[in-house]
Structure 1
């Protein structure tokens, strides 16, 4: 039986918990709160909630209090949650945990001789830190948007020890897998895609090309390089919409490219609706895990213009579902944007190819890959 834990419920841990439950393999699913958008279809008998510190964090957030390193900051929530899970391992033979919330659980599981599986949703911290420190040096004005280089040594040491204690690491992309230290036992299990609508809205072939960037407005996602590409192009037949949370005043971003249309964060269904009005998703990320927005965009018929470090290299068939460009290369980015603008007749076929690519990546495939790998560690016949 498998104990799974994560402080919040999101698309990928929900998919796994529900698949384990259907397979009769779920011992317990531990989280903080499980209602609304965090609901998960797990029977109450196997759902273990540790809510109080997370509820305090949400209240503080609603009141506008910033407490990143304090008692109701996100790191404190993860540590307290991890400690609570470690005290309640129950009948599990395998524990399945995620980055920053695994150390105490893995230590307790190790003492009991349990197998330990670690899902790493973003590149390993050594790679992430190296790339972002390089970005801070390359583009100093954007350094304040990078955040991760400020992680304290204690937090980095926890990440290192979590990985060391893992028997198996689950990665959402080849990029994440390639970031792991040599000798780490790992698999790649790509995330699933949302369902495509029966029909997709037709775009006007004579209108401007509409590019869409979705994500936190940081250079970790390559936004400075996208603005630099737009400056190189300076074409009136290309529009850029940026949807995300700003980490600096909007005037800072306007200095990079004044003509983008800002779209504030909104529920996912409204993000998908905005995608229906756009032509191409652009995400020139420096470091990710596997940005789910890529598959959301494909499901709405948007081809991709992304870097391999966005974690969706397998989603891009050159000239069919989009283009890959190198990181830190505004010129290459501008060249491919121009290609889209100059080949508008190709877009209807690319939209259909994008939808087919999204449909080929299912959450069932993701969970089957993980469960099969767990079975190779700890065969279910012994349970």
Structure 2
């Protein structure tokens, strides 16, 4: 029986939960806020409120979920009220880091108290939320499965510091360059204690220390794709080609390189759409490259509608794990221009589902944008190839891979 711990329950977490639950291997899911989708209480809320609440709903029986909500509730309120001192990186009482660390401590205590009662023989933890849990699990001789959703910190730090040198003005958007020594030490300890390491991409696997890859069981389990999404708007043949960037407005995701690439594009007819949360004031981005349309973050269904109005996804990331936005875009019929560092190397069939470009190369990005502008007639076939490629990756298959890695 597996104890799984995660504060938010992303799509990949939900797939693992579903796999464990359908095989009767889920002892308990520990999270911050969460409830069972079968709860009759949910039907008491107005429809608009219910849609927001269901984002923290899980297709699990209520007795499989245990919550620790205080910091997460304060974090959400602080963000809405603009109380930034409460959510300040690492030090704020309701910062993301404190939310993760707090849940880690709760999980360690829960394991100690309930290991025998629930017959827990394995714990499934995620980066930044597993150090104390894994310490307790080792003491109790419980297996430790570590899900690393992004490149290991040593590789990430090296790459991000290089970007800080290339684009000093973008350094505040990088995030990881400001992690404390204490936080990095916890990450190191988590990996040391792990027995099985789950990676979403070859990029993440390759980011691990060589000794880890030799001494531990490390597997690649690619994320699943959303259902195919079709729209007549994605088959338009007139007007500018719409190139979409989706994600935080950061050079970690390669936005500075994309802006530099757009300045190099000589063929007319390219429109850049940038969807995501700005980290710096919007005038900073306009000063770097004025010619883009900004679209704010939005609910998932609205994201898919925006994707269907665009033609190509461009994601020249420097550090990722496996950016799920790639498969979401492909399911909407968008071919990719992406780096290996975005984690979707296996999604790219050159010239069919898109193009792989080197990280940190605006010139190559510009070359591929030019290619699409000059080969617009190839887009219909590429749209179908992108959809077909995405459809081969399902969340059920992802969950099955995790189960196989965990074993009996």
CA contact (8 A) 1:283 1:307 kept: yes
Deviation of 1:198 after TM superposition, in Å, equals: 5.5
1:357-372 aligned at under 5 Å gives the runs: 357-372=389-404
Distance 1:264 1:72 in 2: 24
Among candidates 300, 317, 324, match of residue 349 of structure 2: 317
* Structure 1 residue 207 displacement after superposition: 1.7
How many pairs does the alignment contain?
Answer: 376
Aligned to 2:3: 3
Richer in helix (by share): 2
In the alignment, which residue of structure 1 is the partner of 2:102? 80
Task: Provide runs of 4+ in structure 1 moved above 6 Å.
Answer: none
Q: Deviations over 1:46-91 (max 9, x none)?
A: 1111111111111111111112212111111111111101111222
Once the two structures are superposed, the pairs formed by residues 284-363 of structure 1 within 5 Å of their partners are 284-363=316-395
Conservation of the 8 A alpha-carbon contact between 2:137 and 2:143: yes
How far apart, CA to CA, are the structure 2 residues paired with 1:164 and 1:117?
12
Q: Deviations over 1:90-146 (max 9, x none)?
A: 221000000000011101110100000000000000011110011001111111111
Superposition deviation, residue 202 in structure 1: 4.1
> SS of the residue aligned with 1:87?
helix
Match for residue 172 of structure 1? 200
Taking the TM superposition and a 5 Å limit, the aligned residue runs for 1:144-293 are 144-184=172-212, 185=216, 186-197=218-229, 201-293=233-325
Asked if the contact 1:18/1:40 (under 8 Å) is kept, the reply is no
Distance 1:358 1:205, change over 3 A: same
Structure 2 counterpart SS, 1:133? helix
CA pair 305-198 structure 1, distance change in 2 beyond 3 A = closer
- Contact 2:18/2:399 (<8 A) preserved: no
Q: Which residue of 2 aligns with 1:93?
A: 121
Query: What's the counterpart of residue 147 of structure 2?
Result: 119
Is 1:32 matched with 2:32? yes
- The range that moved more, 227-236 or 79-88, is 227-236
What do you get for the CA RMSD once the two structures are aligned?
1.1
Matched, 1:129 2:157: yes
* Distance (Å, rounded) in 2 between the aligned partners of 1:202 and 1:86: 49
Provide the C-alpha distance between the structure 1 equivalents of 2:161 and 2:255, rounded to a whole number of angstroms: 16
Length-normalised TM-score, structure 2: 0.90
Q: Distance in 2 between matches of 1:207 and 1:94?
A: 55
For the 8 Å contact 1:117–1:169, the answer to whether it is kept is: yes
**What is the distance in 1 between the residues matched to 2:297 and 2:56?**
18
Pairwise CA distance, 1:200: 5.1
Higher alpha-carbon deviation: 247-256 or 294-303: 247-256
Give, in whole Å, the separation in 2 of the partners of 1:248 and 1:46: 41
CA gap 1:198/1:274 in 2 versus in 1, 3 angstroms: closer
Work out whether residues 18 and 41 of structure 1, in 8 Å CA contact, stay in contact via their aligned partners in 2.
yes
- Does structure 1 conserve the Cα–Cα contact (< 8 Å) formed by 2:229 and 2:304? no
Q: Contact 1:200–1:300 at 8 Å: present in 2 too?
A: no
For each residue in 1:14-67, what CA deviation from the matched residue of structure 2 results, as whole angstroms up to 9, or x when unmatched?
111111111111111110101421211111111111111111111111111112
TM-score between both structures, scaled by the size of structure 1:
0.96
Note the alpha carbon deviations across 1:242-294, whole angstroms, 9 max, x for none. 00111111111112211101111111110100011110000000010000000
**Secondary structure of 1:251 counterpart:** helix
**Distance change in 2, residues 1:58/1:141 (3 Å):** same
Contact 2:244 2:307 in 1 (8 A): yes
Match of 1:62 in 2: 80
Q: CA deviation at 1:204?
A: 2.5
- Separation (CA, whole Å) in 2 of partners of 1:347 and 1:23: 42
